[in-house]
C-alpha cells in the first residue's frame, strides 16, 4: 500500500476518532496524553501502543461498563518528552494525563526528594501498573576503548538531557565509581541526536536507561559499538542506597554482535495523578490489560511481550491509584501479585 493511501486512511481514522471524541458530553475532544521519552527510546513506541489500546478499548469495550456520567470516548496520545523526570512535571502541571516513569524517579517524586524537593504536588504520583524492566545502557564506539566507567576520563559522552531518568541514574553511577561529570566531557543530548555524532566520532559514547532493544542502539549497525558493564561492586553499592535500581544484565540476544553485559535495571511504571477520577483510572487499567492491548504490545515491539499481568505489580515504588487498585481487586485471579 502506498504511503499516500496509508496517510489518507490514517487521516480518516483520526477524523472519525475526533468526531467520536467531540461528541462526548463536554463537547471537548478528550485526549489521554501519555508522557513518554525520546523518539529512539522504548517509552515512545510502547507509549504509542498503550495509547492505541486506550483509544480502541474506550470506543468499544469500555463504555459498556460505565455509568451515564462517564466519558464515552478517549483518544490516547503518546507524547515525546525528556523522560521520567519531565513526565512527572508534565503530569502535575496537567499537561498530560499519564506518564511512563522509572520506579526510582517515581519514588523520589512521591517522597518530594532531590529534584522534586519541596514540591508537594509531586507527591501525588500514583501507579497504574509496572510495565517492564529497563536496563542501563552505556553505548560506546569500540575504537574508543572504554571498558569501564573509569575509562570515561578524557572522553566525550552524552548522558541524556535534564528531565531524563537516564541523567539521574548516570549521576548515581558516577557516584558509585567515585567520579563526577567534571571527570570527562559530558554532553546532554537525547539519543536521537547522538546517532550522527557517534558515527562521525564526535562522541565516544552515550548512555540510556531503557528497555531492549532500543532503536538508538540498533540504528548504529554501521559502526562497531560496545556496551560497557557496571561492576557487581558498583551495582551493589547503588542498590543499597537506591533500592529500585537493582543489578541486572543486557542479554546477548538484545543486539547483534554484542555479548551479555552486567548492568543495573529499574522497572518502568505507568503513573497518573492521585487527583484523576477513579472511574477513569479503572477504565485505563482495564484498557491496558485487555486482550486487545496485550496482543498489540506483543506484536508491536519486542519489549511489549514482557508487559504481562504476572509482573503488573512488581517493584511498585509508589501506591496504586484507587481506580487501578479496584481493577486489580476485581481481577485478582489474573494478577497474582495483588495484595489487599
Residues forming contacts to ligand GLU in the complex (CB under 6 A) are 37-38, 41-43, 83-84, 102, 134, 164-166, 209-211
Say which residues have a Cβ less than 8 Å from residue 224's Cβ, sequence separation at least 6.
141, 142, 143
Instruction: In angstroms, give the least distance from the CB of 161 to ligand GLU.
Output: 9
Instruction: In angstroms, give the least distance from the CB of 209 to ligand GLU.
Output: 4
On the question of a cis peptide bond just before residue 174, with omega within 30 degrees of 0, the verdict is no
Judged by beta carbon, residue 121 or residue 207, the one nearer ligand GLU is 207
> Cell triple for residue 103?
520506579
Instruction: In angstroms, give the least distance from the CB of 281 to ligand GLU.
Output: 22
> Cell triple for residue 235?
551495582
Kindly state the DSSP code that residue 319 receives in the 8-state scheme: P
Instruction: In angstroms, give the least distance from the CB of 166 to ligand GLU.
Output: 4
Distance (Å, rounded) from C-alpha 326 to C-alpha 320?
10
Query: By three-state DSSP, how is residue 140 classified?
Result: strand
Judged by beta carbon, residue 165 or residue 323, the one nearer ligand GLU is 165
Say which residues have a Cβ less than 8 Å from residue 74's Cβ, sequence separation at least 6.
21, 30, 31, 32, 54, 55, 58
DSSP assignment string, 6-19: HHHHHHHHHHHHHH
Residue 289 contacts residue 307 (beta carbons within 8 Å): no
Residue 135 contacts residue 263 (beta carbons within 8 Å): yes
Q: Any bridge partners for residue 283, and if so which?
A: none
Residue 35 contacts residue 100 (beta carbons within 8 Å): yes
Instruction: In angstroms, give the least distance from the CB of 278 to ligand GLU.
Output: 27
Judged by beta carbon, residue 52 or residue 102, the one nearer ligand GLU is 102
> Cell triple for residue 44?
515512545
Instruction: In angstroms, give the least distance from the CB of 47 to ligand GLU.
Output: 9
> Cell triple for residue 161?
538531557
Judged by beta carbon, residue 146 or residue 210, the one nearer ligand GLU is 210
How many helices (H) and strands (E) the chain has is answered by: 11, 10
Judged by beta carbon, residue 50 or residue 71, the one nearer ligand GLU is 50
Query: By three-state DSSP, how is residue 237 classified?
Result: helix
Instruction: In angstroms, give the least distance from the CB of 78 to ligand GLU.
Output: 11
Residue 92 contacts residue 121 (beta carbons within 8 Å): yes
Instruction: In angstroms, give the least distance from the CB of 59 to ligand GLU.
Output: 27
Judged by beta carbon, residue 42 or residue 307, the one nearer ligand GLU is 42
Amino acid at each position: 500500500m502506498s504511503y499516500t493511501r496509508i496517510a489518507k486512511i490514517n487521516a480518516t481514522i483520526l477524523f472519525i476518532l475526533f468526531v467520536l471524541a467531540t461528541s462526548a458530553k463536554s463537547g471537548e475532544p478528550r485526549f489521554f496524553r501519555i508522557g513518554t521519552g525520546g523518539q529512539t527510546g522504548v517509552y515512545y513506541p510502547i507509549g504509542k501502543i498503550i495509547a492505541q489500546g486506550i483509544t480502541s478499548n474506550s470506543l468499544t469495550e469500555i463504555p459498556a461498563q460505565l455509568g451515564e456520567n462517564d466519558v464515552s470516548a478517549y483518544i490516547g496520545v503518546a507524547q515525546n518528552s525528556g523522560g521520567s523526570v519531565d513526565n512527572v512535571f508534565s503530569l502535575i502541571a496537567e499537561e498530560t494525563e499519564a506518564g511512563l516513569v522509572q520506579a526510582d524517579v517515581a519514588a523520589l517524586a512521591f517522597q518530594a526528594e532531590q529534584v522534586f524537593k519541596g514540591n508537594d504536588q509531586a507527591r501525588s504520583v500514583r501507579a497504574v501498573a509496572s510495565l517492564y524492566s529497563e536496563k542501563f545502557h552505556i553505548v560506546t564506539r569500540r575504537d574508543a576503548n572504554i571498558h569501564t566507567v573509569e575509562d570515561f576520563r578524557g572522553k566525550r559522552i552524552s548522558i541524556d538531557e535534564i528531565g531524563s531518568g537516564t541523567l539521574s541514574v548516570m549521576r548515581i553511577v558516577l557516584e558509585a565509581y567515585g567520579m563526577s561529570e567534571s571527570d570527562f566531557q559530558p554532553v546532554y543530548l537525547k539519543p536521537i541526536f547522538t546517532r550522527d555524532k557517534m558515527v562521525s566520532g564526535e562522541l565516544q559514547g552515550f548512555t540510556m536507561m531503557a528497555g531492549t532493544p532500543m532503536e538508538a542502539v540498533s540504528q548504529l549497525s554501521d559502526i562497531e559499538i560496545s556496551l560497557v558493564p557496571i561492576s557487581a561492586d558498583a551495582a551493589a553499592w547503588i542498590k543499597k542506597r537506591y533500592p529500585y535500581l537493582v543489578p541486572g544484565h543486557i542479554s546477548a540476544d538484545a543486539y547483534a554482535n554484542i555479548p551479555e553485559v552486567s548492568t543495573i535495571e529499574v522497572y518502568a511504571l505507568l503513573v497518573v495523578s492521585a487527583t484523576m477520577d477513579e472511574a477513569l483510572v479503572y477504565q485505563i487499567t482495564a484498557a491496558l490489560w485487555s486482550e486487545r492491548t496485550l496482543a498489540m504490545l506483543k506484536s508491536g515491539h519486542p519489549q511489549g511481550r514482557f508487559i504481562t499481568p504476572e509482573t503488573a505489580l512488581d517493584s511498585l515504588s509508589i501506591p496504586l491509584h484507587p481506580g487501578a487498585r479496584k481493577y486489580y481487586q476485581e481481577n485478582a485471579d489474573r494478577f497474582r501479585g495483588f495484595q489487599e
